[in-house]
């Protein structure tokens, strides 16, 4: 089975507060995006990678691709104004012979090759899934500064990527979102909104999304631990 992977990498990293796309920031000895790509390349399940990017980042991204030791095809796809728009562009640029796709944030650079393999296996039997981990905190629903509810933690999971879907179903969900003006932060939410089932696959506690400078420091700590 061949598995196609889309990597949304077209953000600007506002919450990181850097002077460029956070995926170009160094993490130990290489850019964040390179860590993400190396993990995907090391997963035997992945046969093709589309990196969704803003054109002004193409030259730096291409330099990263040139440093990778792989024969797997890696294509640049033009990004949109939101993650949602970027993924939609990615779906439209997929090779036509693939009926399932994995989507993984460039900013989740600590995902392991084993997680990609596990996700690919799940995708063979599911219409849609996300990697996720059970929430460890007690979560409060708050209105203004007042708590209005404390949901049962047994039902709370923190969403991660990879997320995987049947391509035709996800494309239709994106089309519906454009028509109806839905804005969501992940693809599973579109599947949910059109009434399709999304399953959970166990993610990884260390599969954090590098969003703030603190996340970058934590990612560095985790990688150093892996190397020691």
Ligand X SMILES: C[C@](O)(CO)[C@H](O)COP(=O)(O)O
Ligand Y SMILES: Nc1ccn([C@@H]2O[C@H](COP(=O)(O)OP(=O)(O)OP(=O)(O)O)[C@@H](O)[C@H]2O)c(=O)n1
Choosing among ligand X, ligand Y, none, which partner's interface includes residue 153 (Cβ < 5 to 8 Å by kind)? none
Q: Which of 29, 81, 143, 179 touches ligand Y by CB under 6 A?
A: 81
Quote the CA–CA distance of 123 and 134 in Å, as a whole number.
Answer: 20
The reply to whether 162 sits near ligand Y by the rule CB under 6 A is: no
Using CB under 6 A as the binding rule, whether residue 9 contacts ligand Y is answered as yes
Q: How far is the CB of 49 from ligand Y (least distance, A)?
A: 14
107: contact with ligand Y by CB under 6 A: yes
Stretch that binds ligand X, among 92-100, 156-164, 168-176, 220-228 (CB under 6 A): 156-164
Site for ligand X in 196-225 (CB under 6 A): 209, 211
Q: Does 79 bind ligand Y (CB under 6 A)?
A: yes
In the list 3, 6, 13, 37, the residue contacting ligand Y (rule: CB under 6 A) is 13
Among 105, 115, 119, 129, binds ligand X (CB under 6 A): 105
By the rule CB under 6 A, 83 interacts with ligand Y: yes
CA distance 176 to 171: 9
Judged by CB under 6 A, the stretch of 6-14, 92-100, 120-128, 190-198 that binds ligand Y is: 6-14
Instruction: Note whether 12 binds ligand X by CB under 6 A.
Output: no
**Rg of the chain taking only CA atoms, in angstroms:** 17
Told to check if 30 binds ligand Y by CB under 6 A, we report no
Residues that bind ligand X (CB under 6 A): 83, 105, 159-161, 185-186, 209, 211
């Amino acid at each position: 089975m061949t598995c196609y992977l889309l990597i949304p990498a077209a953000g600007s990293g506002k919450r990181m507060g850097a002077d460029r796309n956070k995926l170009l920031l160094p993490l130990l000895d290489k850019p964040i995006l390179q860590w993400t790509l190396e993990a995907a390349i090391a997963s035997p399940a992945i046969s093709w990678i589309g990196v969704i990017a803003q054109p002004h980042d193409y030259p730096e991204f291409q330099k990263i691709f040139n440093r990778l030791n792989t024969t797997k095809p890696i294509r640049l796809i033009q990004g949109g104004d939101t993650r949602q728009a970027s993924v939609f562009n990615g779906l439209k640029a997929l090779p036509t012979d693939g009926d399932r796709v994995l989507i993984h944030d460039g900013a989740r650079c600590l995902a392991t090759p084993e997680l990609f393999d596990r996700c690919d296996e799940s995708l063979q039997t599911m219409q849609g899934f996300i990697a996720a981990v059970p929430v460890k905190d007690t979560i409060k629903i708050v209105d203004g500064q007042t708590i209005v509810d404390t949901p049962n933690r047994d039902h709370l999971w923190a969403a991660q990527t990879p997320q995987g879907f049947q391509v035709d179903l996800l494309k239709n969900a994106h089309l519906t979102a454009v028509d109806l003006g839905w804005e969501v932060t992940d693809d599973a939410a579109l599947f949910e909104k059109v009434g399709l089932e999304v399953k959970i696959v166990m993610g990884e506690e260390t599969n954090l999304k590098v969003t703030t400078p603190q996340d970058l420091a934590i990612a560095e700590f985790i990688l150093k631990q892996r190397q020691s």
